[in-house]
Amino acid sequence: MTDPTARSYDAIVVGAGFGGLCMLHRLRGLGLSAHVFEAGRGVGGTWFWNRYPGARCDVESLEYSYQFSDDLQQEWEWTERYASQPEILRYLNHVADRFDLRRDITFSTRVASAVFDEPTDRWHVRTDGGSEVTARFVIMATGCLSSTNQPAIPGRATFAGPTFHTGNWPHEPVDFTGKRVAVIGTGSSGIQAIPLIAEQAAHLTVFQRTANFSVPAQNRPLTPEEQRTVKRNYAALRTRGGQMPFGFDTRSTEVTAMQVSADERRAEYEARWASGGLPFLGSFADMIMDAQANATAAEFIREKIRGLVDDPAVAETLLPRGVVGCKRLCSDTGYFETFNRPNVTLVDIAAAPITAITPTGITTATASYDVDCIVFATGFDAMTGALVRVDIRGRGGRSLREKWAEGPRTYLGLSSAGFPNFFIITGPGSPSVLSNMVPSIEQHANWIAACVAWMDANGKRRIEATPEAEDAWVAHVNEVADATLYPSCNSWYIGANIPGKPRVFMPYLGFPAYVQKCEEVVARGYEGFAVA
């Protein structure tokens, strides 16, 4: 039943993180009425929820920021090379205020369903509070990493102490002083939180299922001179970033690892290790394409870990196997050194899996560990989780959740056949998590806004991906991924971290080629879309 008194808008945007804020600003710029629903009490999305100790971005702050307003880029001062979560959240609050965005956002409200009404070409959007609005367009800005993965460990509910998830951290300060703390999970979140929790806790026990590759972030304060230099010619940095495979300045090269000598390779890895962060992946052009090339980087990192960790047995357990970058490369501050502390214990749950959580702690196949608090750093139902959580129904009442039961299917990661006037910001099938998220988000917001403007200028009411274009795009995304080492491991890129999730490679690899494709689609009159 639809509500005849529902308020009506041109567009409803779901989520007020980087994507939703930018989309709202763009739609307003077209003179359209747009409204945002946001589950959190404030703006920020990912950066609103992920408040765990040590949360920080792994893309440099001067690049992990909006470029839609040069005034904004000129006036905002980042304090560190890699911004911390509180600073990014301050930035997003500043953006919301500066562009007066809050008046079109309803907070603490989750969108429960969105149903397309064919006779009127309008979406009926219902919130968890039961209110309904209608809109010509629905734009999902729900984020790629926003639906937490809560592992179903037997006895979990019986634990007597507090439990936390890094992806949904309390807003009140959490004090681990004097506590015995368990952290389960050693991905990017765990690797950032562990050194800081170890400094505070009486004892920290880390439960590691898969050892991860991590390089030092080499974070540091940004000098005013560095900022001035970038700001004098910000466009050059943005252009350079946009030409790199991941959409930020990884200093990527055309040189392949196997065409240089072992000494030259080593020198390159050493230089990248010393300068820090994800540009390590840009060391050689074939790093993520060629197993032999990748193995040289893997061995380099393992050697570094052996040098950082005092106890050889602990070091051995921390040594990552497999392919560097296949799971997202981590970027840390003092992670491996943390295992030299007397108050930190590493438990290898690949060797002896967790069998239960009890009221007093965690039991594995071989031992029991008494703890006062448990931190789940167990990641997200990535890329699709937040989308299929909403009951989205397109033409003929078709459910997106059902359509994607065997894996997500989109055209350009922006649109899905059968769902007219429905867009996804950084959806599966777009560079999204394999790129610098903020430029990818802006590219999508710009593309969607231009599409809506074009429809209005040309009297079009409906746009929807064709099934043929979607099939071809899904095949292309897979073909690109299959030429790399990405599909070779159990990463969240492929859905392997969620029991029962279909194994489909979700992001599109190659930011510049993707942007070009999106531009070509427009130049050819929205090729691959049915427009009515």
Nearer to ligand N01, 149 or 296 (CB): 149
Kindly state the smallest distance separating residue 57's Cβ from ligand N01, in Å: 5
Beta strand pairing call for 111-117 and 391-393: parallel
Nearer to ligand N01, 188 or 484 (CB): 188
Is 384 among the residues that bind ligand N01 (CB under 6 A)?
Answer: no
Kindly state the smallest distance separating residue 74's Cβ from ligand N01, in Å: 25
CA 144 centroid distance within chain: 5
Question: CA-to-CA distance for 36 and 21, rounded, in angstroms?
Answer: 8
Is 166 among the residues that bind ligand N01 (CB under 6 A)?
Answer: yes
Kindly state the smallest distance separating residue 347's Cβ from ligand N01, in Å: 10
Kindly state the smallest distance separating residue 173's Cβ from ligand N01, in Å: 20
Give the number of residues in contact with ligand N01, rule: CB under 6 A. 28
Residues 132-151 that bind ligand N01 (CB under 6 A): 145, 149, 151
C-alpha distances out from residue 236 to 44, 228, 437, Å: 27, 13, 18
Kindly state the smallest distance separating residue 278's Cβ from ligand N01, in Å: 9
| Type of residue numbered 113 | S
Kindly state the smallest distance separating residue 217's Cβ from ligand N01, in Å: 8
Stretch binding ligand N01 (CB under 6 A), from 51-59, 110-118, 251-259, 458-466? 51-59
Torsion 83-84-87-91 (CA) sign: positive
Is 377 among the residues that bind ligand N01 (CB under 6 A)?
Answer: yes
Cα angle 282, 509, 286 (rounded to 5 degrees) comes to 40
Question: CA-to-CA distance for 522 and 450, rounded, in angstroms?
Answer: 9
CB-based contact 418:398 (threshold 8 Å): yes
CB-based contact 3:132 (threshold 8 Å): yes
Is 185 among the residues that bind ligand N01 (CB under 6 A)?
Answer: yes
What are the structure tokens assigned to 371, written together? Answer: 């703890």
Kindly state the smallest distance separating residue 187's Cβ from ligand N01, in Å: 2
Q: Which H or E element spans position 378?
A: none
Kindly state the smallest distance separating residue 374's Cβ from ligand N01, in Å: 11
Beta bridge partners of 180: 203
Kindly state the smallest distance separating residue 287's Cβ from ligand N01, in Å: 17
CB-based contact 288:485 (threshold 8 Å): yes
Kindly state the smallest distance separating residue 459's Cβ from ligand N01, in Å: 42
Nearer to ligand N01, 27 or 182 (CB): 182
Stretch binding ligand N01 (CB under 6 A), from 179-187, 196-204, 385-393, 516-524? 179-187
Nearer to ligand N01, 146 or 416 (CB): 146
Torsions phi, psi for 69 (to 5 deg): -130, 115
Question: CA-to-CA distance for 200 and 370, rounded, in angstroms?
Answer: 18
Nearer to ligand N01, 156 or 403 (CB): 156
Nearer to ligand N01, 84 or 283 (CB): 84
Stretch binding ligand N01 (CB under 6 A), from 359-367, 378-386, 414-422, 460-468? 378-386
By CB under 6 A, name the one of 219, 331, 415, 436 that touches ligand N01: 331
Is 492 among the residues that bind ligand N01 (CB under 6 A)?
Answer: yes
Contact code string over 16-35 relative to ligand N01, x by CB under 6 A: --------------------
Strands (E), 381-524: 391-393, 422-424, 463-465
List of residues 6+ apart from 398 with CB closer than 8 A? 418, 419
Closest CA to 489 of 290, 303, 324: 324
Is 433 among the residues that bind ligand N01 (CB under 6 A)?
Answer: yes
Is 328 among the residues that bind ligand N01 (CB under 6 A)?
Answer: yes
Nearer to ligand N01, 137 or 369 (CB): 369
C-alpha distances out from residue 255 to 242, 243, 272, 325, Å: 19, 16, 15, 18
CB-based contact 71:94 (threshold 8 Å): no
Nearer to ligand N01, 329 or 451 (CB): 329
Contact code string over 338-357 relative to ligand N01, x by CB under 6 A: -----------x--------
Closest CA to 388 of 182, 147, 207, 154: 147
By CB under 6 A, name the one of 192, 205, 214, 384 that touches ligand N01: 192
CB-based contact 339:312 (threshold 8 Å): no
CB neighbours of residue 152 within 10 Å = 6
Contact code string over 53-72 relative to ligand N01, x by CB under 6 A: ---xxx--------------
C-alpha distances out from residue 45 to 18, 27, 89, 169, 435, Å: 7, 19, 9, 13, 18
By CB under 6 A, name the one of 379, 418, 431, 528 that touches ligand N01: 379
Is 435 among the residues that bind ligand N01 (CB under 6 A)?
Answer: no
Question: CA-to-CA distance for 374 and 123, rounded, in angstroms?
Answer: 42
Kindly state the smallest distance separating residue 59's Cβ from ligand N01, in Å: 7
Question: CA-to-CA distance for 265 and 394, rounded, in angstroms?
Answer: 52
Contact residues for ligand N01, defined by CB under 6 A: 56-58, 145, 149, 151, 166-167, 184-190, 192, 209-210, 328, 331, 349, 377-380, 433, 492, 497
